[in-house]
Amino acid sequence: MTRLTAALVGLLAVAAALAAGHLVAGVVGPSASPFLAVGDAAVDLAPTPVKDFAIRAFGTHDKLVLLLGMAVVLAAVAVAAGLLSRRSPLPGTVLAVGLGVVGVAAVLSRPDLGQLGVLAPVAALAAGLAVFRLLHAKAAAGTDEHRRAFLVASGAAAVGAGLAALVGQAAGGRVDVEASRRAVGALDPASPAPPLPPNADFAAAGTPPFITPNADFYRIDTALSVPRLRAEDWALRVHGMVDRELTLRYADLRRRDLVERTVTMVCVSNEVGGPYVSTADFVGVPLRDVLLEAGVRPGADQLFSTSADGWTAGSPVDVVLEEDRGALIALGMNGEPLPAEHGFPARLVVPGLYGYVSATKWVVDLELTTFDAKRGYWLERGWAQRAPVKVMSRIDRPARRSTVSGRVVAAGVAWAQPTGVRRVEVRVDNGPWRDTTLSDEVNRSTWRMWRVELDLAPGGHTIEVRATDEAGLTQPQARVAPIPDGATGWHSVFFTVA
């Protein structure tokens, strides 16, 4: 068997295995696809420094990079299996069984999959082995007749794998989330958010618009495949240390008086000057009302929330029960039902806490418990238990290493939820600090824009920014990494005046 033929045998066997697994996963659950299950396991098992690097290096494309990397590794393993099996199919068989075991283990580790999920990696193993042994036997025979048969079988395997993958993808998407979102209709709040003041942002000077469009709202989560839930099928269980357990359907929440709140959300992975901060008008049911209806028992200090894909988070009970905090079980975002990637049918929004302890998407379970009894996904990985948002500011204009002509207009954003931003200052080239002009405040759970005009001599300059919140706390200069409880430090930008 030539090396090229051997490599082709390995590649087609792995393609058949992945396609068969994807096909069966379309029936038993999309996340049971061995490729995705192994990817999810890789995300869960990756050391925190590796995850931090992925977010810093690739941002919201980190999942795509992981999947592409896995595809390259699998292709390399497939080629290696083929090359090692030029004389005997045993090495390739052993590698196939090993990959199958990994797939089964990955599926079994998923909290959102039942026992039927194992059918997907088992089907993948069976299909991969069958194609490998068949193609190997035909390729190894060496006669012209067998070579022709090998070419026909290879073509059939390739076409079959492609069709199986397409059918599996179609079956996995049989839950029509977009139809369910359309059927929800308008989410008209009984208590709408106040209209934005006329100078809520300085977008003309270079800041973002005050409200972040849904398509631009940052997304950081562990889900390789977005959970596909219909509002008609969704339910939220509230239990644990409560006086009465509740099960709330989507229609139950729709019948309540909905409120609209404008909230800025921040990811704890946001570096100094980073992009993972956005603002939206969220519509939903006050979380405090639901918890009081269930009756929170003394001693419960953690609201342990679980996503449909098994991800978990723990929010401090004293925070979510604050009357003025404004925590929501959110159903809508910027005038429409939540987009699927942002948690449809429902998610949590707790202003003033970093997302990993406050913003569970696709939420299906709320348990009142204690921090001693249960630990959320990121707490198990060494992140902080309580994660209040830190006062922070960012320079959006001038851009790093840009060239500016004439008078310099600097602008950016600052946030300090839920305390609010009192003051933003800038300095140039380590000179004196000077106050900036702040945009009109919308509420203390949202960001605030700033701008300033500077007369600077031609040449290179460095501008720095710092914010002070309404409690008098000024953003510290010392740079601290985002993990375990949020970054600190002054953002700075070097630019040139022409």
Q: Give per-residue pLDDT as tens, 456-497.
A: 999 999 999 999 999 999 999 999 999 899 999 999 999 999
61 confidence band (pLDDT: 50, 70, 90): confident
Mean pLDDT of 284-292: 98
Residues 6+ apart with CB under 8 A from 417: 263, 264, 266, 351, 352, 389, 444, 445, 446
Whether 433 contacts 450, CB under 8 Å: no
Has residue 177 been placed in a domain? no
**Residue with structure tokens 């390399």?**
76
The answer on 351 and 203 residing in a single domain is yes
The answer on 424 and 305 residing in a single domain is no
Q: Which of 148, 172, 196 is the last residue of a domain?
A: 172
Cα dist. 89→6, 85, 201, 313, 357 in Å? 10, 5, 66, 47, 50
The answer on 164 and 311 residing in a single domain is no
Number of other residues whose CB lies within 10 A of the CB of residue 457: 7
Has residue 227 been placed in a domain? yes
pLDDT digits (tens, 9 = 90+) for 85-97: 998 999 999 988 9
The answer on 329 and 263 residing in a single domain is yes
The answer on 407 and 295 residing in a single domain is no
Whether 201 contacts 207, CB under 8 Å: yes
Q: Which of 172, 201, 231 is the last residue of a domain?
A: 172
- Hey, is 364 helix, strand or coil? strand
Residues 6+ apart with CB under 8 A from 466: 393, 424, 425, 433, 474, 475, 477, 490
The answer on 431 and 321 residing in a single domain is no
Asked if the model's pLDDT at residue 174 lies above 70, the reply is: no
Has residue 446 been placed in a domain? yes
The answer on 316 and 187 residing in a single domain is yes
Q: Which of 334, 353, 381 is the last residue of a domain?
A: 381
The answer on 447 and 360 residing in a single domain is no
81 confidence band (pLDDT: 50, 70, 90): very high
Has residue 386 been placed in a domain? no
When mean pLDDT is compared over 49-58, 63-72, 248-257, the highest value belongs to: 248-257
| Alpha-carbon dihedral sign for residues 473, 474, 480, 481 | positive
Cα dist. 483→90, 115, 222, 384, 486 in Å? 46, 35, 16, 8, 6
Q: How many folded domains does the chain comprise?
A: 3
26 confidence band (pLDDT: 50, 70, 90): confident
Number of other residues whose CB lies within 10 A of the CB of residue 112: 18
Mean pLDDT of 9-24: 92
pLDDT of residue 59: 73
The answer on 418 and 369 residing in a single domain is no
pLDDT digits (tens, 9 = 90+) for 194-220: 999 999 999 999 999 999 999 999 998
Domain ranges, residue 198:
183-381
Has residue 77 been placed in a domain? yes
Per the prediction, the chain carries an average pLDDT of: 93
List the single range of 153-167, 226-240, 336-350, 427-441 with lowest mean pLDDT: 153-167
173 confidence band (pLDDT: 50, 70, 90): low
Mean pLDDT of 407-413: 96
The answer on 257 and 213 residing in a single domain is yes
Q: Is 220 left (phi over 0), alpha (psi -120 to 50) or beta?
A: beta
**Residue with structure tokens 């073509």?**
155
| Alpha-carbon dihedral sign for residues 435, 439, 441, 447 | negative
User: Beta strand pairing status for 302-307 and 363-369?
Assistant: antiparallel
pLDDT of residue 419: 96
The answer on 306 and 219 residing in a single domain is yes
Residues 461, 157: Cα–Cα separation, whole Å: 62
Has residue 94 been placed in a domain? yes
The answer on 367 and 227 residing in a single domain is yes
- Hey, is 353 helix, strand or coil? strand
